A and B are shown apart, each in its own frame.
Chain A
Amino acid sequence: MQHHALAARRAIADCGIAKSAIDGYVSTSGGGPGAGDDAVSMAEYLGVNHRYIDGTMVGGSSFEFHVQHAAAAIREGLCDTVLVTYGSDQLTRMGRVLGTGGFQRDAQPVAGAMQMATPYGLPLVGAYALAAHRHMHEFGTTSKQLAEIAVGIREFAGLNPDARYGDPITVEDVLNSRMIADPLHKLDCCVITDGGGALVMTTEEIARDLRHVPVYVLGAAGTQTHWNIHQMPDFTEMGATVCGPEAMGQAGVTPADIDTAQLYDSFTITVLLMLEGLGFCGKGEGGSYVQEGHLRRGGSMPTNTDGGGLSSNHPGMRGIFLLIEAVRQLRGHGGEAQVPDAEVALACGSGGWLSAIGTVVLGKDRPS
């Protein structure tokens, strides 16, 4: 709850809006079971008597879906100003068990569709490893190519003083790091941290009087192909193939118009599948695309300029940080990691097990 509050305080101060002007609230139980930070509890804690509320929970991409919903609510006049918050003290509460320890720590019966997987001992990393192996099998993608993703994002993390890990790494470092679940090494996996973030969304009219030149939502779309990994229809393809083109279509842009991408890097394979799904490269070509250096600083598609989940921070549901970094880049507040002349940024979140994908296109210029 305190992480939500800290982030809300900073976001409100940053844009200079009166807290009393907030009449919409969007959040999700970011802290996980037992954290008590569901949307209604948080609305009370933060003192927001909302006219519009949304507690959509689709995993880490929830915030991309929230932007889609809040933009529609504001357009429809359900409210004028929406506060979106996220907070998680997952590292403090659970330690590093999330990735390799699992949610199920004892012999409790497992209900729902997870009973088809959890009793076999499926760790979170293992679920993504299933996708990585299949992609390697079908397209010849290599561990070296996946490692390149982690190396490029670490380079950006080195420019972010708040990043969890900032020391440069090499492809060999990734390949030599401990194998967690074949073919994913430790450095193919995101970090585990605490953290929080918040966004303020409002009408153009209200935004005009605030502290910053506004960033516009040009497009937002989401889709779900499955929830549990064992129901993924094609382990080499994620829903970004659907919601990516839809969001870019709304914005009237193509991948060539995107100046920087903030992609959900829970694991290196997540980024690879997303690049293909979004159409930044052809299906099966993700490996050679990343090897060409497009994602790097100075590349054609600088990606995860804050150091991403692989190196900067990952409190469990990282989607909000994709949006925050996209906004920072479009405002020109990217510091040393600033992408020159960034005018259009894309954020793509993945929730669940490559399951619920949300794409948001943000722009510096008013949508025409």
Chain B
Amino acid sequence: MNPQLVHYLVLSAVLFSIGFAGAVTRRNAIVVLIGIELMLNAANLNFIAFWRFGAHPEALTGVMFVLFSIAIAAAEAAVGLALIIAIHRQRHTTQVDQMDSLKG
């Protein structure tokens, strides 16, 4: 049988969980950002799968949402990496557990 909607949704859920685990556990801020990007990609995969298997694929809603989401992800990655570079310049670290100056 052809891959069904369930297959894509399960793949997306597993990908989201992998990205979440990495974003929560890794110490390096850049790897945390990669994990966030993986989670964003899992959400995009959900949009595309629901668009493809939905009742009105000709409306192109899922495709449009993913295109805008990719553009926003690009902006987010640029700003996030600039923040990491700025923090590295100030604090000489990219480990997220050493960025604790707001800790009470």
Does B bind A?
no
By a beta-carbon cutoff of 8 Å, the part of chain A in contact with chain B is: none
